[in-house]
Structure 1
Amino acid sequence: FRPGAGGSAAARALRAHRPEFLLHFSAPPGSEYQVTMWLPYLERIGRPFFVMVREPEFLAPIAAATSAPVVYCPTLKAMDEALVPGLKVAFYVNHGAKNSHCIRFSQLTHVQIHHGDSDKAPSANPVTALFDRNFVAGRAAIDRYARAGVDIPAEKFVVVGRPQVESIEVRRAPATGLANPTVLYTPTWTGHHADANYCSLPVGETIVRGLLARGATVILRAHPYTGQNPASARQLARLTELLAADRARTGRQHVFGAAASRELSLVDCVNRSDALVSDVSGVISDYLYSGKPYAVTDMAGDGDRFVERFPLAGSGYVLRRDAGNLDEVLGLLLDTDPKAAARWGTRAHYLGDFPVESYAEAFLAAARRELEPGWNPPAPRAADAMTPSPTA
């Protein structure tokens, strides 16, 4: 924006575009994936919109991923110009501090859509209560806020599923006893705070060596923020060395580095794999859609309390903090999978019970309703509110 007489050229172009909604985005460097995962679905809403970024480094990568206008608004004055008449809704994909700059525009309906669903502490952030609507993947998210003591009125929640999983192939029949399985390993990062550090990279070498000993082909896909922690970066580099050496020795086509994180999407990685080993993260919720087995690392050392804190782990197999039970977990994960049947109930609870052939329509329909004048969602029926949540 370079404001001049009659407003900036960008503001004039936006008025001509006549957007009905915007996506507001502010985040640390390297976070553009939070937006790009949503762009195909925002485009499928079928209404004109634009993306407002608050940091200049996001302008190019996000503009390359969409045909919608992408506008850099560094100041509140620039935001004032960008919020042209006709806008009805603002979507948000995280809890960035600068979101408050946009929430102040009370003429808009403010909708938090998140960039993943998990049992992590940040997924029950009290800041969510600021938004007019909170689009969540399933009833499990609503329960998560209640369990954390975050009081959000029921009418603010809208269950829309997780549209990004629509292309994940669903495996209905258990696949057990595979001689040469492909296992996806997705260590998360250390987080900004100690209560959000679920990173298993300190025992990552033990995990990878255990998978190799089982004859597994490994897809190693690390969190984009891993490099922010020097120790994590070194641990990840060691894992790539192990996999490269094993690939040279055995010919097994392990996937790691850029091949796993940029050349393949997460959906590609899920579809190529037979099982998952993951830390507490949104990857597990996405993987749950496939129906395939997963193991979850208990890096806080919660022991018997782990499933209570992270209920999604109840339909998986829990790997202890020291990975001392790795052989047992891999046997359950790859050989017998006794929790296969239980996962389908968990899947509906976490990801909504929507038809596979039209799964993303739940989000699209909910978004379009928010754009209708005077729309207010009905309060949940008493029977719905009292239905007990499925247990894993």
Structure 2
Amino acid sequence: RRRFRPTAGGSAVTRALRRHQPEFVLHFSAPPGSEYQVTMWLPYLERIGRPFVVMLREPEFLPAVAAATTAPVVYCPTLRTMDEVLVPSLRVAFYVNHGAKNSHCIRFTQLTHVQLHHGDSDKAPSANPVSAIFDRIFVAGEAAVDRYARAGVEIPPEKFVVVGRPQVEAIEVRHQPTRGLTNPTVLYTPTWTGHHADADYCSLPMAETLLRRLLDRGATVILRAHPYTNQHPGSARRLARLHELLAADRSRTGRQHVFGAAASRLTLAESVNRADALVSDVSGVVSDWLYSGKPYAVTDTGVDGDRFVERFPLAATGYVLRRDMADLDDVLTRLLDTDPLAEARWATRRRYLGDFPADSYAEAFLSAARRELDPAWTAPAPRTTTDDAALPTAP
């Protein structure tokens, strides 16, 4: 009884947090190698301009997350330690995935619980019915709302808030189509195999054929694999083979392919900005790339055939690469040469990423987050013109 009795005034952590007066908490639980899910959000949570605390449920994330923020980062292995961290000043809890331990925090009904996700894609997990337990679901665009409806997941529309995808603000936009590319730089982003067969969108089994054909066309390749890739032995072997292939071509031709540790040091935005075109599996990378306006191809690793675009609508303004690679040359010609879908991508971009001004794109998220913290808060009215000469002068 003495061991479980709260100490007078709370623990040292509780006392420190009461002094800090955090207004929101970021709750995070995930398998090893998932720290990217939370680090992608930390800069934007800091820009909200309110004190907050990060609550981790697994200790291995402490070094990476603590290095990525100036906010307090606390490891809470038990429900009791969570009780010590959830001090009275907290009003909102943010989440970046659908981890099972999220339910441990959602039991605190005095908080508003907001799901942020860690990417926007047409993958099945992006329309997880578990989303319904949150008070708010921040989504990048109207396409995400449609995705839940298409999956038969009924969620009250008032729970959805379209905030864009603030992480894309660092991506450079190419407004004019670039056709007839010679010696292009191509970003290839294979995803992982997923936990279940129906969520396996990984193209690594057919990737060597793809890369060899890109090299034949004089392409420089940026190979950016999913962080979970090495957890699957077969995927790890295939990825190592691709690294060998690119290293050999670099020695022979001098083309500066980027892969392995060098690729992991680049942010996704830096990778996108270096590339002229993308080849990706069904994943959130495609949505982020869409912001650039540049062409992309999506791999169909299943047996959907004509239904592939129906299941994954974002592929409609990309070039679909079939599992048997029978259309590979045609796809690469459209991707790197003719790009017939260049104009159609802009409408898709608005549906998936919102229609927010480029120079203040992240403000949609920041304003929405501040409203949850303070319902009476309103954003300042935007300027109606960027032409200073058109503004009235002082008398």
Task: Tell me the TM-score normalised to structure 1 length.
Answer: 0.94
Of residues 11, 28, 32, the one that matches 1:29 is: 32
1:97 aligns with 2:106: no
- SS of match in other structure, 2:83: helix
| CA distance in structure 2 between the partners assigned to 1:18 and 1:311 by the alignment | 44
Partner of 1:300: 302
Of residues 138, 143, 161, the one that matches 2:141 is: 138
- SS of match in other structure, 2:226: coil
Query: How do 1:1-392 and structure 2 match up within 5 A?
Result: 4-261=7-264, 263-373=265-375
- SS of match in other structure, 1:166: helix
Partner of 1:379: none
| CA distance in structure 2 between the partners assigned to 1:323 and 1:81 by the alignment | 55
Residue 176 of structure 2 aligns to which amino acid in structure 1?
Answer: A
Instruction: Give deviations 1:44-63, integer Å, cap 9, x for gaps.
Output: 00000010000011111100
Distance change >3 Å, CA 374–CA 102, structure 1 → 2: farther
| CA distance in structure 1 between the partners assigned to 2:365 and 2:376 by the alignment | 19
Asked whether the equivalents of residues 24 and 92 of structure 1 are also in contact (C-alpha less than 8 Å), the reply is yes
- SS of match in other structure, 2:138: strand
Residue 20 of structure 1 aligns to which amino acid in structure 2?
Answer: E
Residue 237 of structure 2 aligns to which amino acid in structure 1?
Answer: R
Runs of 4+, deviation exceeding 6 Å: none
- SS of match in other structure, 1:177: coil
Q: Deviation at 1:373? A: 4.7
| CA distance in structure 2 between the partners assigned to 1:30 and 1:350 by the alignment | 27
Asked whether the equivalents of residues 23 and 50 of structure 2 are also in contact (C-alpha less than 8 Å), the reply is yes
Partner of 2:389: none
Q: Deviation at 1:238? A: 0.3
Asked whether the equivalents of residues 301 and 320 of structure 1 are also in contact (C-alpha less than 8 Å), the reply is no
- Pairwise CA RMSD of aligned residues? 1.2
Q: Which runs of 5+ in 1 are unaligned?
A: 377-392
| CA distance in structure 2 between the partners assigned to 1:89 and 1:251 by the alignment | 52
| CA distance in structure 2 between the partners assigned to 1:104 and 1:7 by the alignment | 21
Instruction: Give deviations 1:342-376, integer Å, cap 9, x for gaps.
Output: 00000000000001110000000000000015789
| CA distance in structure 1 between the partners assigned to 2:348 and 2:239 by the alignment | 31
Instruction: Give deviations 1:289-328, integer Å, cap 9, x for gaps.
Output: 0000000000012110000000000000000012121111
Residue 188 of structure 2 aligns to which amino acid in structure 1?
Answer: Y
Q: Give the total of aligned pairs.
A: 374
| CA distance in structure 2 between the partners assigned to 1:8 and 1:233 by the alignment | 44
| CA distance in structure 1 between the partners assigned to 2:332 and 2:310 by the alignment | 22
Q: Which runs of 5+ in 2 are unaligned?
A: 379-395
Asked whether the equivalents of residues 370 and 377 of structure 2 are also in contact (C-alpha less than 8 Å), the reply is no
Q: Deviation at 1:7? A: 2.0
Residue 352 of structure 2 aligns to which amino acid in structure 1?
Answer: Y
Task: Tell me the TM-score normalised to structure 2 length.
Answer: 0.93
